[in-house]
Amino acid sequence: MRIYSLLFISMLYCKAQLFGQQKDLVKNAGITSPMHRASIGKILFSSNPVSVPDLKGAEFLDIYELTNKSGLFMTIFMENSMTNYLHQLAPQLHHDTLLRHGNYQASFYVDNQLIYQTNLLPGAPQSWHQDTVTVMSKPLISDKSSWWTQSMWNRFMMNGGDSALTDGPHVLKMELRPYINLSGLKTGDIIASGQLKMQVHRKVHIDIAKIDLNTIKAYPGLPVSKEHFNVSKIKELKGSIDEGLYKHITSIVVVKNGKLLVEEYFNGSARDSLHDPRSVGKSFASTIAGIAIGEGYLKNEDQTLKEFYNLKPLPDHSPAKENVSVRDLLAMSSAFKGDDADINSPGNEEHMYVTPDWIKFTLSLPADEAAKNEWHYFTAGVVLLGDILNKQVPGGLERYADRKLFKPLSIINYKWPFTPQQVPNTAGGIQMNALDFAKYGQLYKNEGKWNGKQIIPEEWVRKTFTKHRSITGRTGEYYGYLFWNKNYKVAGKEYETFYCAGNGGNKIYVFKDQPLVIVITATAYGTAYAHSQVDKMMENYILPAVLND
């Protein structure tokens, strides 16, 4: 009798265990190969990308030499997909909620010391990837692409990795866990981990005697400067870029007193290369708005949306939206609920790009009157400004900008991107060569004049270069009319600049009390270091080389 009782209890226990297990929420890709089955829970490293279906194991490394030009790839073998791991953490949550609030947590160790831990922002990888993928191979360090895995590595390097990976032997270890952050952070067990012995050789010796600077020739509107500058500093910077200490830089141009002083190109670019500076293009919307106001096609920047659109039939109609002004759009302080820094914000630009009508998307966003009092980066608002200009100026925005801005500056070879409605996309991405971007900056340095003709009203330049809003989360930084403002410190002295800025480290600087316009183009799109490395270049090399002081 006692044996049967024990058997019955055992069966009840097994049944309870079975019911306690969480069923998968979505169907995943399963175990894809014998190599996958043998490597579940591992992260393996390779010096080249690998083909997942053809994995044999010989591709993976035990030891690796890390330099400033390294290429390192990782292959992650999981038993389940990320969505299902998140479901195990929070079985009560719906699929979309899981992916909006959860993702990978990555931990980086050097020599068994935890150096950095990061929770990947939801949204990358995409939802289909989170649902299905159980094995993936992605670049960790690479100059050839831009993935979330590389962003993870770059943040590690900026938050202790750079200091920990000194020259010599080290062991790098990585761990991946799932996390949910809804009403508090909750992490799961390790789903994959791996380690790699490293020989680090990142110190470089730059012999400036072997570095030649570009021989500068005159360019239409930009004669060659004969002024002195610290040649050694620019050579050091050029050598540092060539050695990979500063990554993805494509050009550096310095105009001093209206003349070309420095002109250098990198990573395959040249004088005639068209650069995509991303959100640098937003500033051009401000320029055209100023010209249009000067010519009377817009009354002033206090005009409101209700003068251009009928908002009443659209969702979330409110007086707050109707009263959004051109000024609000220029200063990134409208009442729209739109913040590109928050992936969950209704008006985040990523939500706009997948819609067929970006203007309808923007005008249909909810409004919050309190948002008008704070700066929030809102790309959709600049697209809206471009649409207003396109409606108001004769011939549309593209032709008007060509006649009123580009032709007077002899800018001939340029490319606009377009919205789904074929309006020039003022969100960014207008392409030009570095010298034409420099002429655009010099136009502002000239207070709107070019060859003695007033292209932009002088009053508009003054308004543009006014600190309309403090930039949220940054001390001593401000926003004008689609231009940024900050100070650089060199040798204990501060130098104020208004500037255009775009993803990847793209900049056009116009200095307030120095006769300088500086252009930097780069393709470090989506990286954590893109803007900070440009700041280092400016403070450590470019400004010390070319300042008057």
Same domain, 292 and 270: no
> Is the pLDDT at 154 greater than 60, yes or no?
yes
Same domain, 157 and 236: no
Instruction: Give the list of residues 6+ apart from residue 280 with CB closer than 8 angstroms, or none.
Output: 428, 430, 437, 500, 501, 502, 506, 507, 508
Mean per-residue pLDDT for 534-544?
Answer: 98
Instruction: Give the list of residues 6+ apart from residue 16 with CB closer than 8 angstroms, or none.
Output: none
Same domain, 242 and 297: no
Sign of CA dihedral 156, 159, 162, 168: negative
Same domain, 378 and 264: no
- Distance between CA 274 and CA 270 in Å, rounded? 9
User: For residue range 510-526, what is the model confidence (pLDDT) as tens digits?
Assistant: 999 999 999 999 999 98
Residue 27 lies in a domain: yes
Same domain, 237 and 301: no
Residue 15 lies in a domain: no
Mean per-residue pLDDT for 163-190?
Answer: 97
- Distance between CA 350 and CA 528 in Å, rounded? 18
How many other β-carbons are positioned within 10 Å of the β-carbon of residue 367?
23
Residue 19's pLDDT is 36
Mean pLDDT rounded to a whole number for the chain: 94
Mean per-residue pLDDT for 7-14?
Answer: 43
- Are 165 and 153 in contact by the 8 Å Cβ rule? The answer is no
- How would you class 161 by CB atoms within 10 Å of its CB: exposed for 0-12, middle for 13-18, buried for 19 or more? middle
- Are 196 and 172 in contact by the 8 Å Cβ rule? The answer is yes
502 φ/ψ sector (left φ>0, alpha ψ -120 to 50, else beta): beta
- Distance between CA 301 and CA 293 in Å, rounded? 8
Share of the chain above pLDDT 70, in %: 96
Question: Residue 320's closest CA among 308, 305, 339, 300?
Answer: 305
Residue 496 lies in a domain: no
Question: Residue 120's closest CA among 137, 111, 108?
Answer: 108
User: For residue range 302-324, what is the model confidence (pLDDT) as tens digits?
Assistant: 999 999 999 999 999 999 999 99
Mean per-residue pLDDT for 221-232?
Answer: 98
CATH of the domain at 377: 3.40.710.10
DSSP helix/strand/coil, 8 = helix
Residue 377 lies in a domain: yes
Residue 249's pLDDT is 97
User: For residue range 421-469, what is the model confidence (pLDDT) as tens digits?
Assistant: 999 999 999 999 999 999 999 999 999 999 999 999 999 999 999 999 9
Residue 12's pLDDT is 42
Residue 211 lies in a domain: no
Residue 421 lies in a domain: yes
Domain tally, the chain:
3
Same domain, 189 and 251: no
- Are 264 and 541 in contact by the 8 Å Cβ rule? The answer is no
Same domain, 397 and 288: yes
- Distance between CA 84 and CA 89 in Å, rounded? 9
What is the pLDDT confidence band of residue 7, given thresholds at 50, 70 and 90?
A: very low
Residue 186 lies in a domain: yes
Share of the chain above pLDDT 90, in %: 87
User: For residue range 57-84, what is the model confidence (pLDDT) as tens digits?
Assistant: 889 999 999 999 889 999 999 999 999 9
Q: Which amino acid is residue 488, in one-letter code?
A: Y
> Is the pLDDT at 236 greater than 50, yes or no?
yes
What is the pLDDT confidence band of residue 16, given thresholds at 50, 70 and 90?
A: very low
Same domain, 425 and 443: yes
Domain containing 419: what range? Answer: 278-481
Residue 8 lies in a domain: no
Same domain, 265 and 391: no
Same domain, 448 and 538: no
Top-confidence residue, 171 or 151:
171
Residue 22's pLDDT is 65
Q: For the whole model, what pTM was predicted?
A: 0.87
